[in-house]
Amino acid sequence: MPTILESGIVDVTFGDNVKVVQPVNLYGCTIGADCFIGPFVEIQKDVTIGARCRIQSHAFICELVTIGDDCFISHGAMFINDLFSIGGPAKGRRDLWASTKIGNHVSIGTNATILPVSICDNVVIGAGAVVTRDITEPGIYVGNPARFVRIPDGSA
């Protein structure tokens, strides 16, 4: 017989007025007030989600990620904390993992991949983009690797 593990909600700190659509796998994380968490989302321990964020279905937010206020994480967005620095998975060696910090008013598009980086406030990451370096200037970033294309008002 296989070992059956169930998803669920364990040791989560919730702000006021949070909505969660099950099934989800949330454990050891903090979710701010007025957030929405869609179905089939996994948010691991030591993750902090700010207030008024929307995390859409099938998103994966690994350990060591901090997301600011008023952010949107679209369907299937993936966060990575292990860069395979030893040629393969770190196999639980947290000392080999790196953290990710997302600012306020950041939107991350469908199927985007976010490596351990820092992203400033007021950024849009396009669908399918792969963010491999810190983003220090507001704007819209697309592609693999993600590159700046314009500021949101279109004047760049």
This prediction has a pTM of 0.93
What separation in angstroms does the CA of 1 have from each of 4, 5, 6, 8?
9, 12, 15, 22
- The Cα 58–Cα 138 span in angstroms is 26
Query: Is residue 156 domain-resident?
Result: no
Query: Is residue 99 domain-resident?
Result: yes
Q: Which strands make up the sheet holding 72-73, listed edge to edge?
A: 19-20, 36-37, 54-55, 72-73, 106-108, 123-125, 139-142, 147-150
3-class SS at 10? strand
- The Cα 152–Cα 11 span in angstroms is 38
Domain that residue 30 falls in: 9-150
Query: Is residue 155 domain-resident?
Result: no
Q: What pLDDT is attached to residue 154?
A: 58
pLDDT tens per residue across all 156 residues of the chain: 999 888 899 999 999 999 999 999 999 999 999 999 999 999 999 999 999 999 999 999 999 999 999 999 999 999 999 999 888 888 878 899 999 999 999 999 999 999 999 999 999 999 999 999 999 999 999 999 999 998 877 554
Token couple for 134: 């810190």
When divided into structural domains, the chain yields a total of 1
